[in-house]
Amino acid sequence: MKRAMNLMAAAILTASSSMVFAQTDLSLWYHGAGNDKEKSVLTGIINDFNGSQDDWKVNLAEFPQESYNESVVAAALSGKLPDILDVDGPLMPNWAWSKYLTPLEITDEDVKDFLPGTIGRYDGKIYSVGLWDAAVALFARKSVLEKHELRIPTLDKPWSLDEFNTAINTLKMDKDFEYPLDLGLAWKGEWYAYAFGPLLQSWGGDLMDVEKPTAEGVLNGDEAMAFGEWWQNLFTKKLVPGTSQDGADRETGFLDGKYAMQWNGNWAALAALEKFGDDLLFLPAPDMGKGPKIGAASWQFGVSGSSKNQKGANDFIRFAMQDKYLANFSNATGLIPATAAAAKMTENYKEGGKLSVFYALTDKQATKRAVTPAYNVATLEFEKALSDIANGADVADTLDAATDAINKDLEKNKNYK
């Protein structure tokens, strides 16, 4: 009997000691399946976090980016969301409104050094934090601009609308190039709102007024109409390749000398630098009247609304926000680190680094896309409208139709209140 009691006591002790040291599993979904560089950095952060404390163990599940959102929505519908998930910045408000995400236990103080575009705020609360951002710039060649005696714009003094128009019309005359500018219309989807939404904002328009909320007078107001006319002019005058642009031309057209300039992101910068070296320029967005603007907000981490381990999930995100990890991500991917301190630790974004201009561009020109749950619909309508206008549709009718569609969605969802 005594022996049996001893065995039982030993068993209880063993069980309780294993309970003390067992880490609670946290599931983390990430959009970067197939990207070894990102995986290696993220796995490093996860291993460091798991080894740094005894309470939580993060388990990574990767999903391909192209279909990540569909996977998350399907999981949300079936109540199977993970504890931590990443979200594309502009979609965050919709996921927050849909309760896929819950506010983070991260304060303004925690993110005071972060680039504005990396912080996902909605309804006054922080729902997501990004470890990096991306930026677009006007890729150009110094020798080409000098040959045509065009002023090289700077961050402090970007091209005005007139200067920009003059530049592309002048370059149009140069028979060495098929087009003076490539906007990349071979790329579909979010590229439109990310790359061209800020141009509309620079004209004084926007996808919608998120406060009212309505697209009326904003997407079809006078400024937006003027933008639409200017946009259509680019295609009717053959200043840029149209919507039927070959994907291969988008990839190699600027490098091959088909296009004099290209509107592209920092992810394409290293290949261009390799080709043109010191001759390559990354020019800031032109000022169309209301200040020069480029898109902001890339992928960010948030905590799911259904997570039963919110403390652990928040602990992980806070842990991942350390400068050394931001720098690691940037070094691995070429994307812009979220803080200045991390930028200094990177090869490309430290002072004098090959891509440091992109950090400055983000810091100075980055503008978030409309922060509203209605963004999911607005971005699709905006893409359709720009595509139609590029193909010759009536500007006023098209923007009115897009405005109506966005407002209808707002009405259907009771303004997402």
187 burial type by CB count under 10 A (0-12 exposed, 13-18 middle, 19+ buried)? middle
By CB under 8 A, is residue 70 in contact with another protein? Answer: yes
By CB under 8 A, is residue 188 in contact with another protein? Answer: no
Which span sits near another protein by CB under 8 A: 3-11, 27-35, 162-170, 285-293? 27-35
Contact pick of 10, 15, 61, 152 for another protein (by CB under 8 A): 61
In angstroms, what is the minimal distance from the CB of 373 to another protein? 20
By CB under 8 A, is residue 387 in contact with another protein? Answer: no
Considering the complex, state which of residue 18 and residue 78 has its C-beta at the smaller distance from another protein: 78
For residue 73 the two structure tokens come to 């929505």
By CB under 8 A, is residue 251 in contact with another protein? Answer: yes
Q: Could you give the angle at the alpha carbon of 261 between the alpha carbons of 256 and 264, nearest 5°? A: 90
Contact pick of 98, 160, 252, 310 for another protein (by CB under 8 A): 252
- Pairing relation of β-strands 259-265 and 299-304? unpaired
Number of residues that bind another protein (CB under 8 A): 29
In angstroms, what is the minimal distance from the CB of 64 to another protein? 3
Alpha-carbon dihedral 293, 294, 296, 299, rounded to 10 degrees: 170
Contact pick of 2, 3, 5, 36 for another protein (by CB under 8 A): 36
Considering the complex, state which of residue 361 and residue 406 has its C-beta at the smaller distance from another protein: 361
By CB under 8 A, is residue 171 in contact with another protein? Answer: no
Considering the complex, state which of residue 81 and residue 200 has its C-beta at the smaller distance from another protein: 81
SS (H, E, C) 139-204: EEEHHHHHHCCCCCCCCCCCCEHHHHHHHHHHHHCCCCCCEEEECCCCCCCCHHHHHHHHHHHHHC
Instruction: Specify the length of the chain in residues.
Output: 417
Contact pick of 71, 160, 376, 415 for another protein (by CB under 8 A): 71
Considering the complex, state which of residue 66 and residue 113 has its C-beta at the smaller distance from another protein: 66
Contact pick of 80, 188, 408, 412 for another protein (by CB under 8 A): 80
Q: Which residues is 209 bridged to in the sheet?
A: 214
Considering the complex, state which of residue 216 and residue 251 has its C-beta at the smaller distance from another protein: 251
Taking the C-alpha atoms of residue 225 and residue 242, their distance in angstroms, rounded to an integer, is 20
Contact pick of 20, 21, 79, 175 for another protein (by CB under 8 A): 79
For residue 258 the two structure tokens come to 């088909």
In angstroms, what is the minimal distance from the CB of 26 to another protein? 15
By CB under 8 A, is residue 75 in contact with another protein? Answer: yes
DSSP 223-287: HHHHHHHHHHHHHHTTSS--TT--HHHHHHTTTTTSEEEEEEEGGGHHHHHHHHGGGEEEEPPPB
Q: What is the DSSP letter of 23?
A: P
Which one, of 145, 153, 141, lies nearest residue 170 by Cα? 145
List strands edge to edge, sheet with 259-265. Answer: 179-182, 259-265, 136-141, 280-283
Please count the other Cβ atoms lying within 10 Å of the Cβ belonging to residue 263.
22
Which span sits near another protein by CB under 8 A: 58-66, 137-145, 210-218, 361-369? 58-66
Which span sits near another protein by CB under 8 A: 6-14, 75-83, 125-133, 223-231? 75-83
By CB under 8 A, is residue 319 in contact with another protein? Answer: no
Contact pick of 74, 397, 408, 412 for another protein (by CB under 8 A): 74
By CB under 8 A, is residue 248 in contact with another protein? Answer: yes
175 burial type by CB count under 10 A (0-12 exposed, 13-18 middle, 19+ buried)? exposed
Interface residues toward another protein, by CB under 8 A: 29, 32-36, 61-67, 70-71, 74-75, 77-80, 246, 248, 251-252, 256, 265, 267-268
